[in-house]
Amino acid sequence: MASRILLVEDDPEISEFVAQGLREDGHAVATAINGHEGEKALSSADWDLIVLDWWLPGPDGLSLLQRLRGSGKTTPVLFLTARDAVAQRVEGLKAGADDYLCKPFAYEEFLARVEALLRRGPSAPTSIWRHLDLVLDLSQNRAERAGKPLNLATREQALLHFFLRHPGEVLTRARLYERVWDETYDGQSNTLEVHVMELRKKLEAHGPRLIHTVRGKGYLLGGPVPPEGI
């Protein structure tokens, strides 16, 4: 059975060359030429592998990757990009990429990496998330801080899970509404603030504050001492 591969690449020559090569090697390939098309393809179907450019019109490849991982999907992702600095490769891998190949590239090497990722398949999603003395075990629906159990409501657990996926990152209200409530933030609802307040109350019963408010931006899961400027 042919593997289903999504190629998100805005350079038409590279896209055509890579897609044709993959099809000749027996794979079923769909292409997207910008971030908006890529985002739609990612949400509308399941893929065996995603080949992703970093620089894209619309949402860039890194944003698409972060949204994919934020949704819990573990589909293998190969970054194919001209961004070849070590710091950029590290950033891509930390964001959830499984492999990283810089342009220009030899098709033989590209194909070998594709086949290796397809053999590996999706990694098993972790069920245990940790941050300092905070632990969330999704398989057991159990959360604790400093060894003390936390009685979290369903939405509080989902909110904490999203924070644990993005420690040290400022999460906007719009993003939190989109990912935790699956709703668009209307700029007026205080639902998020109420849930953050309740979650903080339960966490801070066993230690100092970890969820910090970033004025005018959103929230951040950090350490007991808030980052400078918050």
Query: For residue 165, is pLDDT > 70?
Result: yes
Say what the pLDDT of residue 143 is: 95
**Whole-prediction pTM value?**
0.56
**Which has more pLDDT, 188 or 56?**
56
Say what the pLDDT of residue 123 is: 58
Instruction: Considering the domain delimited by 128-221, tell me its CATH architecture.
Output: Orthogonal Bundle (1.10)
CB atoms within 10 A of CB 171: 22
Domain boundaries of the chain, sorted by first residue: 4-120, 128-221
Q: What are phi and psi of 27, to 5 degrees?
A: -100, 150
> Over the stretch 99-116, which tens digit does the pLDDT of each residue have?
999 999 999 999 999 999
- What span, in angstroms and rounded, lies between the C-alpha atoms of 213 and 196? 10
DSSP string, 100-166: EEESS--HHHHHHHHHHHHHH-SPPPPSEEEETTEEEETTTTEEEETTEEE---HHHHHHHHHHHHS
Average pLDDT, the chain: 89
CATH assignment of 4-120?
3.40.50.2300
